[in-house]
Structure 1
Amino acid sequence: MKLKPKNVSIVFYVSDIARTETFYNQTLGLQLERQEGAEPFWLQAQIENGPDLIFFQMEGKRGDTPAIVFDLDEGGIDDVVAELARQGVNIVTPVSEAPGGWSADFLDPDGFGLGLWQAGELPRSLK
Structure 2
Amino acid sequence: MIVEATVTILVSDLDRALHFYRDILGLALRKKNAKYAEVEVHGFLLGLHLVEGDAAAANVTGNLSVGFRVEDLKAEVARLVDRGLMFSSSIQEGAGGWFAYFQDPDGTPLYLWQRKAS
Larger helix percent: 2
TM-score, normalised with respect to structure 2: 0.46
